[in-house]
Structure 1
Amino acid sequence: MAASRNPEVDLLRSFALVGICIVNLPLLALYDAPEPVRAPTGLDEIVYFANVWLLEGKVFPLFAFMFGWGIAGQQAAAARDDVSFEVRYARRLFGLLVLGWFHALLVFAGDILVLYGILGFLVWPFLGFTVRGLVRVALSAVGLAVAASMALGWILVYEFTGLAEGPGASTFIDAVIQRAINWPDTFVFVVLFNGPAAFSAFCLGLAAARIGLLNPDSETYPWLRKRVLPFTLLGLAISFGYATAEAGLQAETPSALAIVGMGLGPIGALFLSTAYLVAIVELARRVRFPQAFVATGQNSLTTYVLQGVIGGALVSGYGLALGPHLGSAGYLAVALLVVLLTMLFLRVWQIWFRRGPLEEVLRAITGSR
């Protein structure tokens, strides 16, 4: 008999996907829509800074943490089904690579599925590590993430010349061609921004699942809960420094201090994403969320891709082309609309089908029953 599914795991994925949609939506239109036709307002500037401070680089590690958590579930499922975990895991990662490539071309060049597929192979040698060993590997990867973040800051100041953009991508085919041209540069950005941090989160998520972090008798979760306030304050302070540093990345007046400050991002994210995890779990244990919200976490692959499909249709040049007319505040409102539409779709889908469409595709590739 399959183990009952922990609803807190699904809610953690759901909240992470809400944040990812808010962060990603402006990027969906960046190279697929004409230049903005309005100057940013004071509210736009506040929303943009808050986005960088509170969400950018903080929700992706939480999502990656749940990916690592899922690896433990896949190991248990393979043992339960008496099949080779190695074969099933390899096929799953191959499926992510294939789906990610199509997603990068057809929906969003900033796709993370290809990266997750690659990182899934890189974390493979560490799957046999003890919990303590996984934590040590994860903390070591944070140092690599700091270096990668500073390298990204240096590239943005001294090397980044800009990707093709503008009204040329007024059709879907134009956008696909543009993404194909931009993808190598974009993938370098994705690797530096998300790669080491996601790898660290994979290891931490796997370790957390093995010790039963969310079990009622967990000894580790109460330890985290007691420290959520200092973790939050540290995360907010360090992430504020990162957001300020990012605002100082100007090629016209390059600042070494701003580049170094970019390295604060992964450190602040480690504390703040941990605080988010505790806050979400505490909320989940006190509030009954609608099934439509839970459904997005149960079908996180479909949710992630569908957010890009709906968002692109709204903001990109090949869709309604709302992007040029939106400031950061407008993008936030549209992102929440995209989240709502995605939830409604998946809730209706669940009435007739057990899993999301892309979950079924991935399971078919994996060979899961």
Structure 2
Amino acid sequence: MSETSPTPVPAAVPVARRSLAPDLARGVMLLVIAAAHGRIMAEMFGGGHATSTLDAVTELLLPMLVDARGYPMFAALFGYGLCQIYLRRQAQSWPWPPIRSLVRRRGRWLLLFGLAHVVLLFFGDILSVYGLVALAFAGVLRFSDAKLLRHAAVWLIVGSGLYAVLLTLGSGDTTEGATVMGADPITDLIGRLTMWPVFTPFMFVTTVFPFLIGVWAARRRILEEPTRHLALLRRVAFVGIPMGIVGGLPLGLHNMGAWHGGTAAIYGVEWLTTVAGYMGGLGYAALIGLIAARIGDRPGRIATALAATGQRSMTSYLLQSVAWMILFPPYLVGWGPQLSAASAVAVGAGVWLATVLIAELMRRKGWRGPAERALRNRTYRVRAPKPLAAAR
């Protein structure tokens, strides 16, 4: 075969050979993201008020159980997946430059997909953030474990600190219940495009630490072989989740109006909540790993449906955004201004459940997620590396 002959798109890993834990984790954590986004979208359109005891309890529990959990855990799984790509290509004797090109090409396409997501649907896109991380940090896939963990420690401190500063500075920009979006579709489009260059670096600084931890975990196949790492998973789950709950309590009390503080106090609470989100998100992932180990090779209907959602996590994430765009703006269904804090979270959970049902239907039909298929086709439409082509 010629050295310049293009290779076909590699076949995706067959479902029967996929590990349950990563897919199950993605499927479950999409619920966390949907609950958080339901609350945020209600606020963006002038709703999300706390008008009852149930709303007050919701305001207390969101920072303790939901906020800052979903994105860090998905960032860790993104790092896990990129490291799997690197290890598989390395096992196929690919040299580093083509692997680096592959990772960065995936990052560029994620960046473009994310921009399209913003233009069409949702201001709070995370795909473009992951694309930037892949472009900027492809080289960490070759780091030693010690160097990788040193970088992770630095980004834990720097990322959480910068994120807390930005949250503190932005906390006084709008009053409670202020309408940020919803005038008309064109105004909302301009608003999304205006927020995107601010939101993307804002999320970037808090994504790097869990991404690096995900790379480290993939080297040990922690989620692919959870039964070999039960002790570690138990420590992370039974320490991380309580730390997340306790660390989110001060912000929950603040959101309820139980206490008020100055800028320094708010900064400290935002920083604590960010770190608690890291710990809680990783704790959730570890707990799901333990559940997957307990389930073994015979998942029931619920686990199978959740794993099907995780296998189509990008499609499910985008479907959530379609639901937000239909349900919340006043020029469409118009629920946004009418929802309280608790009802907005309930709508988010309902949207997540709908995506689970859609994913399960796609699994039964043998359909892969269209977003995953599109990203894969564009990422792997490449020429074979020279050593591999010469061997053929």
* Number of residue pairs matched by the alignment: 359
Q: Which amino acid aligns with 1:168?
A: A
Give me the whole-angstrom Cα distance separating, in 2, the residues matched to 1:131 and 1:50: 36
Deviation at 1:103, TM superposition (A): 0.5
**Match of residue 109 from structure 2:** 95
**Match of residue 82 from structure 2:** 71
1:180-329 mapped onto 2 (5 Å cutoff): 180-185=193-198, 187=199, 190-192=200-202, 194-216=203-225, 220-226=229-235, 228-244=237-253, 254-287=262-295, 288=299, 289-329=302-342
Q: Which moved more, 1:174-183 or 1:206-215?
A: 174-183
1:1-369 mapped onto 2 (5 Å cutoff): 4-31=17-44, 33=45, 35-36=46-47, 40-79=51-90, 84-157=98-171, 160=173, 165=180, 167-169=182-184, 172-185=185-198, 187=199, 190-192=200-202, 194-216=203-225, 220-226=229-235, 228-244=237-253, 254-287=262-295, 288=299, 289-367=302-380
Which residues of structure 1 form unaligned runs of 5+?
A: none
- Residues 71, 207 of structure 2: 8 Å contact kept: yes
Deviation digits for residues 31-77 of structure 1 (CA, Å, limit 9, x no counterpart): 4x4x3497621211211221122111122111111000001221134
Distance 1:249 1:362, change over 3 A: farther
Deviation digits for residues 281-334 of structure 1 (CA, Å, limit 9, x no counterpart): 222333533432211110111111111112321222243111122112111221
Deviation at 1:249, TM superposition (A): 12
Q: Which amino acid aligns with 1:96?
A: L
Q: Which moved more, 1:160-169 or 1:320-329?
A: 160-169
Give me the whole-angstrom Cα distance separating, in 1, the residues matched to 2:261 and 2:281: 32
- Residues 57, 269 of structure 1: 8 Å contact kept: yes
Question: Which of 1 and 2 has higher RCO (CA within 8 Å, sep 6+)?
Answer: 2
Give me the whole-angstrom Cα distance separating, in 2, the residues matched to 1:352 and 1:232: 36
- Residues 93, 118 of structure 1: 8 Å contact kept: yes
Give me the whole-angstrom Cα distance separating, in 1, the residues matched to 2:280 and 2:347: 25
Q: Which amino acid aligns with 1:11?
A: L
Q: Which amino acid aligns with 1:205?
A: G
Give me the whole-angstrom Cα distance separating, in 2, the residues matched to 1:13 and 1:92: 19
Deviation at 1:280, TM superposition (A): 1.4
Give me the whole-angstrom Cα distance separating, in 2, the residues matched to 1:177 and 1:249: 36
- Give the secondary structure class of the aligned counterpart of 1:61: helix
Q: Which amino acid aligns with 1:52?
A: P
Distance 1:141 1:181, change over 3 A: closer
Give me the whole-angstrom Cα distance separating, in 1, the residues matched to 2:256 and 2:165: 16
Deviation at 1:263, TM superposition (A): 1.1
- Residues 75, 85 of structure 1: 8 Å contact kept: yes
Deviation digits for residues 182-218 of structure 1 (CA, Å, limit 9, x no counterpart): 4334x2xx533x3233111111111101012135487
Distance 1:343 1:211, change over 3 A: same
Deviation at 1:150, TM superposition (A): 2.7
Distance 1:57 1:214, change over 3 A: same
Deviation digits for residues 133-190 of structure 1 (CA, Å, limit 9, x no counterpart): 22221122110123113312331245x3579735513xx44432332234334x2xx5
Give me the whole-angstrom Cα distance separating, in 2, the residues matched to 1:312 and 1:249: 33
Give me the whole-angstrom Cα distance separating, in 2, the residues matched to 1:253 and 1:215: 45
**Match of residue 6 from structure 2:** none
Deviation digits for residues 198-242 of structure 1 (CA, Å, limit 9, x no counterpart): 111111111101012135487654134146434333332222234
- Residues 228, 278 of structure 1: 8 Å contact kept: yes
Q: Which moved more, 1:141-150 or 1:221-230?
A: 221-230
Give me the whole-angstrom Cα distance separating, in 2, the residues matched to 1:85 and 1:246: 46
Distance 1:80 1:352, change over 3 A: farther
Give me the whole-angstrom Cα distance separating, in 1, the residues matched to 2:190 and 2:147: 44
Deviation at 1:115, TM superposition (A): 1.2
Q: Which moved more, 1:126-135 or 1:284-293?
A: 284-293
Q: Which moved more, 1:304-313 or 1:214-223?
A: 214-223
After superposition, the CA RMSD in angstroms is 2.9
Distance 1:253 1:227, change over 3 A: closer
Question: Which of the pair has more CA radius of gyration?
Answer: 2
- Give the secondary structure class of the aligned counterpart of 2:142: coil
Q: Which amino acid aligns with 2:53?
A: G
- Residues 20, 60 of structure 1: 8 Å contact kept: yes
- Residues 33, 70 of structure 2: 8 Å contact kept: yes
Deviation digits for residues 90-123 of structure 1 (CA, Å, limit 9, x no counterpart): 2111110110001112111111111111111222
- Give the secondary structure class of the aligned counterpart of 1:213: coil
- Give the secondary structure class of the aligned counterpart of 1:127: helix
Q: Which amino acid aligns with 1:283?
A: I
Q: Which amino acid aligns with 2:110?
A: L
